[in-house]
Amino acid sequence: MAAHRSKTPVVIGIVGPGLIGSTLIKQLSAQARALQNSLLIDLHIVAIISSRAMYLYNQKGCDLETWQTDMAMGGEPPSLDAFTDFFKGFSNCHKIIVDCTATSLVPSYYARWLSTGIHVVTPNKKLSSGPLDEWTKVRTASRDHGTHFMYEGTVGAGLPVISTLNNLLDTGDELMHIEGILSGTLSFIFNSFGAGKTFSQVVADAKAKGFTEPDPREDLAGTDVARKMIILGRECGLAVEMRQVHVQSLVPPQLADTQSADDFMAQLPQYDSTMQGQAQAAAAQGMALRYVGSLDLINRKCRVELKQVPLAHPFASLDGSDNIISFKTQRYNEQPLVIRGPGAGAEVTAAGVFGDLLHVIKMLGMP
């Protein structure tokens, strides 16, 4: 007769219960009972903090169905220091903090958390693409203290991009070139551009559908794609910083300092002819325009730019806001390894974070 095994307690803190954070909690709620049985864990969300409020629970955690009511009632004033100290009260259990924000402040706590036995899971790109010394500090804290820092959701939302890259590296494959369309916004714009619509009309449509940031210049500047390429480059051993990445901005220089997003959108049609000319030149050669990030690992260079790709190329056949990435390696040389699918959206991003969370739990020695 098999010996009875008690369930291992796992306590979780959520930073940023916004769209992605709340979706993650919803997914956790739907799977909680199945996970408790399959992984033999006793999992509870014991702390939630937003920019407006903080709610700290006991080890039994929050009710996954009614936590939003707790937050709406006010809780305590938000304090990341108090949030951090709260976890000192939990012993004999595994502790994980999930950062679902997009701020630079929360990542400044990662090294502190990792150094005190708290694992960190996040889709926040700011740390992994920020100053190299800060990124190195966090990776060192994770290594030295035996804690896990997981960030699959930083590139491609829920697509298995970083895990695939690490599998290639860990099994001794030699990476030569990584190339991808890694902005859902710019994917949508260039998948739609040319079908009887001007560039400004397509940008306006993307904004109306919620694909862009409130100010579309944040997407058109290419910085988000550059951040993702930096993350991939660092995984491959490149000590790359933002200033070393060639980034082609799609924001007309004359509109870069326009005071408001509305003013920018009102003036953007004046520059449609420039983009239209590039699209026509590409079409005349049987090509399509796509906004592509690329890593040349032989020459150690990173570029983010508008490129012409053949109509038969996988990058030219994307739909909607899908992402796609190809890995050319020693093993996948003649035919690169390609990953394609939804690269934006709360459900898939939260699922990517959820997957990292489960990966941490499994690495902690559970079945």
Phi, psi (degrees; rounded to nearest 5) at 53 = -155, 165
Q: DSSP string of 199-216?
A: HHHHHHHHHHTT-S-SST
**Nearest residue to 251 via CA among 208, 218, 277, 281:** 218
Report residue 279 CA to chain centroid gap.
30
Burial of 276 (0-12, 13-18, 19+ CB in 10 A): middle
Which residue out of 125, 228, 307, 328 is catalytically annotated? 228
- Residue 93 DSSP symbol: S
Cβ count near 62 (within 10 Å) = 23
Round to whole Å and give the CA distance between 255 and 261: 10
**Nearest residue to 60 via CA among 31, 85, 93:** 93
Task: Clarify whether 228 is annotated catalytic.
Answer: yes
Asked whether the beta carbons of 28 and 63 are under 8 A apart, the reply is no
Q: Catalytic residue positions?
A: 228
